[in-house]
Chains A and B, each alone.
Chain A
Amino acid sequence: MAQVVLKDVVKNYGGVYAVNHVSLTVEDGEFVALVGPSGCGKTTTLNLVAGLIPMSGGTITIGDRDVTDLDPKDRDIAMVFQNYALYPQKSVYRNLAFPLQMRKMDKAEIDRRVQAAAKTLDITHLLERKPRELSGGQQQRVALGRALVREPRAFLMDEPLSNLDAKLRVQMRSEIKRFHQDLGATIIYVTHDQLEAVTMSDKMAVMNGGFLQQYDSPANVFANPVNMFVASFVGSPAMSLVPLTAVSKGTDVVLASPEGWEMPLSDANGRKALSAKSNKVVLGGRHSTIQVHKAQVPGSVPGKVYTVEPTGDVTFAQVFVSGAVVNVSVAPSFQLRPDEPVFLEFDQNRMHLFDAETEMALTL
């Protein structure tokens, strides 16, 4: 296994930048998730690392080798595809053996490696079958096996779970995580599902519009999103964002709404709010940090219930606050009705403030 370093990587098609000066380092044995919405450049980035498409600029090193100009086969990487990409006319055994045959390995060694990989992934009993005779989960395991036999320096996975049904996806998620832990493999994993990224990865690289937005551990990305995009992309339900105005009142700072209500800020939050370029500030809050009250309490802001979604353990609700939708959660015993007026209390220590102009998080 090896470290993978992307330095100032660019891929442009004419004037359109699919990948815009992305730099990131994947440490040896690390599981990194590239995550973002469709068209954010995550798959293109992965294909650049694989060498499947030519780069427009920058360098990529795998281990101590600069692979920028090498063919995919010389980069010593293995790839797992969304639709498994198994050779349909070959048996599972031959699928696993194929990358080794292409490397002119001798038969005994091929057999040893195929059997070992099959044992690791518990597919020994499937070796004589054809891919079409396997279930989706089994096919995905064979695809992992074909990557595994190579003993590559890094695994590249392109949405490997998207073709599976919901239940199987959760199961394979833990299997891939286990696979990573057992092998200490360096894995770059592309997904559009932030939940997969959060649950599986050591670090997540959030991308949008070809730019790398934030590269950090899932916990840090969740707790300290650098901008409004990351804040609204990571977490389910998404962080709610309410555009307001920061106003100084003597020594205190409040957030004022166009409707006329005001929300006092703590000292620290007040200083953050005043550091914005203009006085336009966006208030961000995750559902778990917002308390719902039926009557006004100090510091709470008025809203109106829009929808109520009971899930059993917890009831989610969407509340209109100053024209924005705020996701909140309450205990199932807490009765809420659509159109009911409520008051929301944001936790001063866990709220987020963003500069409305730059969309960047305000920090001290």
Chain B
Amino acid sequence: MSLCLQARQLSCERDDRSLFKGLDLDIRSGEIVRIEGPNGSGKTSLLKILSGQLRDYEGELFWNGAAMQSVREHFLANLLYLGHAPGIKSGLSPLENLAWYQALSGESSGGQGSGAQEGEQQRLDALEQVGLAGFEDVPAGQLSAGQQRRVALARLTLTPRALWVLDEPFTAIDRHGVAALERQLIRHAQAGGCVLVTTHHELAASSLLRRIALG
């Protein structure tokens, strides 16, 4: 089953300024869609609308052909959104942060129950993949901005979702991390997933990459 997120005649106004008007979008399995535009052109607003957070827009959204409102739960169960703020609690360790995200999606591995052992291993693996081995139990507040961002990015491996919506995921990440993340995006698209991303970073050309320019 392939996924498909569609927008029809999408318009958004913020503070009496029209960000975009009559936008038609089709985002399908196996695509990396990069949203481009200068600062303030509405990239983040568009991502928030498409991920169902922002409600003041005109137009319609469809998830796999059905109107968004009627399939919201199914949509959210397949969405992974990473915003400007990484959503990492500075008082909790990376492991604890990830455990909450696992549990939030209803996976028993995030809790204390039967799947806890397995869940813990998954979290350790995910942290190792983003290069945070050895930092598992350090309070996230003591990590650098880039490391905190990496904790958030560990969720890409930890909680498999088909649709990734990433707002400036490369912020504060070093060159190695950027290359690894780019490869991960391509792998996800090749596996039939779908990536919606805003970035000022130049993505390597790929047949999977599509650009949408705003502003």
A binds B: no
Binding site for B on A (CB under 8 A): none
Binding site for A on B (CB under 8 A): none
